[in-house]
Structure 1
């Protein structure tokens, strides 16, 4: 199973998101082609209601522990309740440029 598919299946199965976006940003970094090592994940779910940000991130990191122990070097998490997502205009933060050998620019 590819890293993207693993992330998608774990989060979909366990969090039942109303919105899930997974972006492989590896190509923006100084890694081998096809590395699948840098991801940006935006997840919107009722499961985050009443949780602080650190709890949400711990929950996602726990679900993705196998990938984080292996191929995933960086994981940008944007975790929202449906109400927070609507208040944000249904937009996540843009990822910053790589500071350690970016291929972009």
Structure 2
């Protein structure tokens, strides 16, 4: 199973998001082809109502735990309530260019 599919299923089954985008950004990093190692997850859910950001991230990290124990090296999380999502314009954030761990261009 692709990691992307696993993450989408795990998150959807647990919190029924109104918006979910899982992007495999491994190609943007210095990893072998097909590595499935770097993901960006944008999720909007009423389940986040009343939760602090750390709680939201803990919840998603717990759902992603099997992937984090395996191929996933980095998981960028963007978690919103429906109201927060609307206020920020309903668009996912762009990811920065990978600097390969060196912090140099």
The Cα of 1:92 is off from its aligned counterpart by: 2.5
CA distance in structure 2 between the partners assigned to 1:26 and 1:100 by the alignment: 12
> Which residue does the alignment assign to 1:16?
16
Cα shift at 1:91:
1.5
Aligned residues: 103
**What residue number does 1:72 align with?**
72
| Residue ranges of structure 1 left out of the alignment (5+ in a row) | none
2:93 and 2:8 mapped to 1: Cα distance? 20
Which 10-residue stretch deviates more, 88-97 or 47-56?
Answer: 88-97
RMSD over aligned Cα atoms: 1.5
In 1, Cα distance between the equivalents of 2:30 and 2:42? Answer: 23
Residues 15-67 of structure 1, C-alpha deviation per residue, up to 9 Å, x if partnerless? 10000001110000000101111000000000000000000000000011000
Compare relative contact order (CA 8 Å, sep 6+) and give the higher one, 1 or 2. 1
Q: Under a length normalisation based on structure 2, what TM-score does the superposition of the two structures give? A: 0.93
Q: Structure 2: give runs of 5+ residues left out of the alignment.
A: none
